[in-house]
Amino acid sequence: MNCPFCDLIAGGVATCHGSVAVIPDAFPVTEGHTMITPVRHVADIFELTGREVADVHRLLRDLREQLRRGDSAIEGFNIGVNCGTSAGQTVPHAHVHLIPRRPGDTPHPEGGVRGVIPGRMRWEAVADAAAE
């Protein structure tokens, strides 16, 4: 199996924390965009063990604090997971995106992760369409 995340982990590029590792995103959405992935190769987060889930959650909190200490402009975060190619997963190794958000990084941040479907990010537009 040829998995780029497994290669990064085996090559020491990823920083391991218990059962999970931190990988900087190769195509970051914002500065500081990071991925947390299990060291063990599994396809998506639904296959994680209880320990892996706990390690992911702990590391999300730790990275959030580390990023906030290093950049006072960060006011929020998006946490994203793509499971399966229909959901946009391009690397078949489970991973969680931690994306720092700053004021003005997008003109309309309302709706956040709803933006995965064009035209559905702003809930007002969805509600207006449903009312028609």
Angle at 76 between CA 73 and CA 79, to 5 degrees: 135
Cross-strand partners of 15: 22
Both tokens of 115, joined, read: 């933006």
**Any idea which residue has 């006072």 for tokens?**
72
**In degrees rounded to 5, what are phi and psi of residue 31?**
-60, 130
**Given the DSSP bridges, would you call strands 34-38 and 20-24 parallel, antiparallel or unpaired?**
antiparallel
Q: Clarify whether 95 is annotated catalytic.
A: yes
Please give the Cα distance from 9 to 100 (Å, whole number): 23
Which is the catalytic residue, given 33, 57, 93, 95?
95
Indicate which residues carry an active-site annotation: 95
